[in-house]
């Protein structure tokens, strides 16, 4: 019976250590990054986001994209992320320093988005895909985000940012589909997702 107090004391200490190891330590080690500045070019990595992309992060959060998409390219030996072309190198903690919240994600009902801006650099593609994902990617079960767009009558000339859609979602004659500000912000954010900049702690793995 006298071992019991020892067990309890040990339990308490370990619980305390877990707090230090998984909460306090990460704050100090992974929560105070500054960006890396390349000596020769002056490039800042990770690059700061445009204002629209920052707003786009909020739309990403508000729409719950993390429940189908991850944003972490895993290391060599942990899955086929690199072989699938989801990134030139694994992602590291500093890559997330500008993200709030960090969109690591835990499901891959859809592909990893860490570098979607590099894979799909076209704004038009993103708008079309958000509106009609099953048409752009046959077999996809991604829902349509049509609620981020407006169907409106064309007045005079077609709007500059009206998007092209394939049937069956193409607007009827005289009408156009125009993204709301939220849709444009979201796409600006998606285009910004490109972590192929080099970081000293994350060298590109040999091919």
Partner 1 sequence: MNAIVYIILAAGLIFFSGSTLAAFYWAAKTGQFRNLEDGSQSIFDHDEPVGTATDAFADKTADRPLRRGATALKS
Partner 2 sequence: MSATTVHSSTTTPAMDKAERARIDESTRVPVLLFFGSAVFWLLAGSLFALLASFKLNAPHLLDQWGWLTFGRVRPAHLNAVAYGWASSAGIGVALWLMARLCRSPLRHSKLLICAAIFWNIGVLVGIGGILSGDSRSIEWLEFPNYASLMLFVAFGLIAVWAVIMFRFRQPGHVYVSQWYLLAAFLWFPWLYSTANILLNFEPIQGGAQGAVNWWYGHNALGLWFTPIGLAAAYYFIPKVLGRPIHSYYLSILGFWSLALFYSWNGMHHLIGGPFPAWMISASVVASMMMFIPVITTAINHHMTVRGNFGALKWSPTLRFIVFGAMCYTLASLQGILMAIPSLNKITHFTHYTVGHAHLGLYAFFTMIMFGSMYYITPRVVGWEWPSARLIRWHFWLVAIGIGVMVVALTLGGLLQGIALLDPGITFMATLDYTKPWLLLRSGSGILLTVGHIIFAISFTLLLLKVGKRRAGPTLFGTDEVRQPESIIP
Q: Hey, which residues between 7 and 36 contact partner 2 (CB under 8 A)?
A: 7-8, 10-12, 14-15, 17-19, 21-23, 25-27, 29-33
109 binding partner (options partner 1, partner 2, none; Cβ < 5 to 8 Å by kind): partner 2
Give the footprint of partner 1 on residues 181-200 (CB under 8 A): none
Q: Which tokens sit at 31? A: 């929560």
Binding mask 21-60 for partner 1 (x = CB under 8 A): --xx------------------------------------
Secondary structure (DSSP) of 177-190: EEE-HHHHHHHHHH
**Which listed option, partner 2, partner 1, none, makes contact with residue 5 (CB within 5 to 8 Å by class)?**
partner 1
Contact 60, 186 (CB under 8 A): yes
Q: Which residues have a Cβ under 8 Å from the Cβ of 11 and sit 6 or more positions away?
A: none
Q: Helices 181-192 & 123-131, crossing angle to 10 degrees?
A: 120
Q: Give the phi and the psi of residue 74 in degrees, each rounded to 5.
A: -80, 165
Q: State which residue, 24 or 166, has the beta carbon closest to partner 1.
A: 24
Instruction: Count interface residues toward partner 1 (CB under 8 A).
Output: 11
Query: Per-residue x/- marks for partner 2, 66-95, CB under 8 A?
Result: xxx-x-x-xx--xxx--xx-----xxxxxx
Rounded to an integer, what is the distance from CA 90 to the centroid of its chain?
14
Which DSSP category does 116 fall into? H
Here's the x/- map for partner 2, 94-133, by CB under 8 A: it reads as xxxxxxxxxxxxxxxx-x---------------------x
Min dist CB 90 to partner 2, Å, is: 7
144 binds, among partner 1, partner 2, none (CB under 5 to 8 A by kind): partner 2
Cα separation of 190 and 123, whole Å?
9
> Quick one: which H or E segment has residue 103?
none
What would the two tokens of residue 89 be? 């190198």
The residues of the shown chain that bind partner 1, judged by CB under 8 A, are 1, 4-5, 8-9, 12, 15-16, 19, 23-24
């Amino acid at each position: 019976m006298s071992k019991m107090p020892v067990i309890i004391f040990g339990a308490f200490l370990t619980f305390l250590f877990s707090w230090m190891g998984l909460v306090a330590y990460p704050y100090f080690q992974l929560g105070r990054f500054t960006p890396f500045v390349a000596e020769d070019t002056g490039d800042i990595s990770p690059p700061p986001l445009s204002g629209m992309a920052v707003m786009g992060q909020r739309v990403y959060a508000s729409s719950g994209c993390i429940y189908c998409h991850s944003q972490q390219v895993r290391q060599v030996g942990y899955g086929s992320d690199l072989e699938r072309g989801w990134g030139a190198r694994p992602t590291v903690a500093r890559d997330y320093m500008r993200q709030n919240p960090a969109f690591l994600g835990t499901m891959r009902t859809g592909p990893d988005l860490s570098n979607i801006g590099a894979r799909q650099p076209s704004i038009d593609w993103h708008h079309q895909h958000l509106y009609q994902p099953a048409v752009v990617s046959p077999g996809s079960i991604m829902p349509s985000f049509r609620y981020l767009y407006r169907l409106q009558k064309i007045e005079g000339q077609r709007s500059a940012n009206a998007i092209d859609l394939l049937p069956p979602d193409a607007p009827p004659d005289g009408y156009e589909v125009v993204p709301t500000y939220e849709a444009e912000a979201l796409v600006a954010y998606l285009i910004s997702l490109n972590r192929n900049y080099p970081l000293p702690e994350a060298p590109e793995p040999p091919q």
